[in-house]
């Protein structure tokens, strides 16, 4: 029977347990996306806190792909030095870290990129303002840029990379009939919608070699009108497996999916936890590469049961680690109480205000305790 604290490996990357820190934008980079000492310290703290694999914030691979303020970037060689410090801090504590590679496409932040966002297609009724439709040549350059960003990640000492094809960003837009209205080669049939992601994977393989872990995060469903469906997602996952992907992190939803966004609120019971568990089981039953499940996992016992039931091989969390960077160490030491995060998403607020994300609930609690003790 597999166990949560057993050693495993993904394409040669050895992991000390089956817990993953899912990619989390921290809003702690410089204005141009360079890694800061604060981010380095946070990654070190996460590694020290026992999580088997850390996935960085989404890092934009071209300037026109920036989604959020103070987001991590990997679009120029000057950024390698800062990223090296990040990987060194993790390795110093025996952890593993991979870089999430992203382009925001339709949802790039027009103020930050200084132009209208580049999109695969213009779509009526989604988002305000002009989009510029990408030419096929632009897409070819973009694919090359993903490969170059992957090479920077490897040079900076990352143990692998993760392609961000979830949550409504560019590569997720490509897979989604709601956003991808192109004709071939990059639109139309399911195979054509998968073409961009498969070419990004091939470009990364060419740059990084066969023995370097390349993972992907993708939606099992978009939960929007005409969005990606579970059946289509499974077919695309098979194509990715055939294309040589090493593991798939299963997520779902987009920013415009309302309550069914990727970071759902009100996870008040074990039943509400792991909201993609049914989808995870379908992925696991269809594929023979490792499946990483994300989305509302809060209890050790829920993860344990999912491992036993063959829902997934790895269990990924984001918000629980914002509140408790040492959650996995706590569980390993025998305190199996569920994660303290109450999933109210308040941590996004300071990130957008330029303070970097932190657990607002925990901070209020600490202030209250301090007031009471004085």
Ligand X SMILES: Cc1cc2nc3c(=O)[nH]c(=O)nc-3n(C[C@H](O)[C@H](O)[C@H](O)COP(=O)(O)O)c2cc1C
Among ligand X, ligand SF4, none, partner that 22 touches (CB below 5 to 8 angstroms by kind): ligand X
Active site residue 275: no
Task: Tell me how far, at minimum, the Cβ of 66 lies from ligand SF4, in Å.
Answer: 23
Q: How far is the CB of 369 from ligand X (least distance, A)?
A: 24
Q: Identify which of residues 284 and 319 has a Cβ nearer to ligand SF4 in the complex.
A: 319
Residue 16, binding choice from ligand X, ligand SF4, none, Cβ under 5 to 8 Å by partner class:
none
Is residue 53 within 8 A of residue 314, CB to CB? The reply is yes
Q: Shortest gap between Cβ of 206 and ligand X (angstroms)? A: 24
Interface residues with ligand X (CB under 6 A) are: 22-25, 57-58, 100, 164, 166-167, 217, 251, 262-263, 294-297, 317-320, 347-348, 351, 357
**SS3 state at 215:** strand
Note the residues at the interface with ligand SF4 (CB under 6 A).
Answer: 319, 322-323, 341-347, 359-362
User: Measured from the CB atom, is 196 or 357 closer to ligand X?
Assistant: 357
Report, in Å, the least distance between residue 69 CB and ligand X. 12
Given the complex with ligand SF4, which of 102 and 341 has the nearer CB atom?
341
How much of the chain is helix, strand and coil, in % rounded to 5?
A: 40, 15, 45
- What single DSSP character describes residue 85? H
The item of ligand SF4, ligand X, none sharing an interface with residue 25, based on CB under 5 to 8 Å by kind, is ligand X
Cβ count near 326 (within 10 Å): 16
In the list ligand SF4, ligand X, none, the entry touching 219 (Cβ below 5 to 8 angstroms by class) is none
- Long-range residue pairs from 354-361, CB within 8 A, at least 24 positions apart, any chain: 354/27, 354/69, 354/70, 355/27, 356/26, 356/27, 356/28, 356/38, 356/70, 357/24, 357/25, 357/26, 357/27, 357/28, 357/322, 358/322, 359/322, 359/323, 361/323
Give the max Cα distance, the chain.
68
End-to-end CA distance of the chain: 51
Catalytic residue chosen out of the listed positions 60, 75, 106, 169: 169
Which residues have a catalytic role annotated?
A: 169
């Amino acid at each position: 029977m597999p166990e949560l604290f057993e050693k495993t490996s993904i394409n040669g990357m050895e992991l000390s347990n089956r817990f993953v820190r899912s990619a989390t934008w921290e809003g702690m980079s410089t204005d141009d996306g360079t890694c800061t000492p604060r981010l380095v310290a946070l990654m070190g703290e996460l590694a020290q806190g026992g999580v088997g694999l850390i996935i960085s914030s989404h890092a934009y691979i071209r300037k026109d792909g920036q989604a959020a303020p103070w987001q991590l970037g990997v679009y120029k060689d000057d950024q390698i030095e800062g990223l090296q410090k990040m990987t060194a801090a993790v390795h110093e504590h025996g952890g593993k870290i991979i870089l999430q590679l992203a382009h925001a496409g339709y949802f790039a932040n027009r103020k930050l990129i200084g132009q209208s966002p580049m999109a695969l297609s213009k779509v009526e009724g989604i988002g305000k303002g002009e989009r510029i439709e990408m030419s096929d040549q632009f897409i070819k350059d973009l694919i090359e840029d993903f490969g170059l960003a992957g090479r920077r990640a490897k040079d900076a000492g990352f143990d692998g990379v993760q392609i961000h094809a979830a949550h409504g960003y560019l590569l997720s837009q490509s897979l989604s009939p709601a956003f991808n209205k192109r004709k071939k080669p990059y639109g139309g049939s399911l195979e054509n919608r998968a073409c961009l992601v498969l070419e990004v994977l091939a470009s990364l393989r060419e740059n990084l070699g066969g023995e370097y872990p390349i993972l992907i995060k993708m939606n099992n469903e978009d939960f929007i009108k005409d969005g990606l469906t579970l059946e289509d997602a499974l077919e695309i996952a098979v194509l990715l497996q055939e294309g040589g992907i090493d593991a798939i992190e299963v997520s779902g939803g987009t920013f415009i999916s309302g309550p069914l966004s990727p970071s759902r609120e009100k996870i008040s019971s074990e039943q509400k936890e792991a909201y993609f568990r049914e989808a995870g089981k379908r992925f696991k039953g269809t594929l023979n590469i490792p499946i990483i499940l994300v989305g509302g996992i809060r209890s050790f016992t829920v993860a344990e049961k999912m491992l036993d039931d063959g829902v997934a091989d790895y269990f990924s969390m984001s918000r629980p680690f914002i509140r408790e960077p040492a959650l996995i160490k706590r569980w390993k030491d025998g305190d199996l109480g569920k994660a303290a995060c109450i999933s109210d998403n308040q941590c996004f607020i300071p990130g957008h205000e330029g303070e970097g994300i932190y657990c607002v609930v925990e901070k209020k609690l600490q202030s209250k305790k301090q007031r009471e003790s004085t």
